[in-house]
Structure 1
Amino acid sequence: MNRILVIDDDIELCELLSDYLSGENFTVET
């Protein structure tokens, strides 16, 4: 499983990216 670290001050954008990438089999940390 691939991992991605998302860093942004927009919480809604982080949540959106986290939800999408989790569905694509990525482990996401925000």
Structure 2
Amino acid sequence: MAAYSGSFAKIHQLFFLVRLKESHKTIFYVNN
């Protein structure tokens, strides 16, 4: 269970970073 939680946290963090990048891209395009 602990190993599962660790891998899930990594996936969640990766997903969050991707979302953050995408939102920055959107903001960048909107500002230009």
TM-score if structure 1 supplies the norm length? 0.49
Indicate the structure (1 or 2) with the bigger Cα radius of gyration.
Answer: 2
Higher helix share: 2
TM-score if structure 2 supplies the norm length? 0.47
Higher strand share: 1
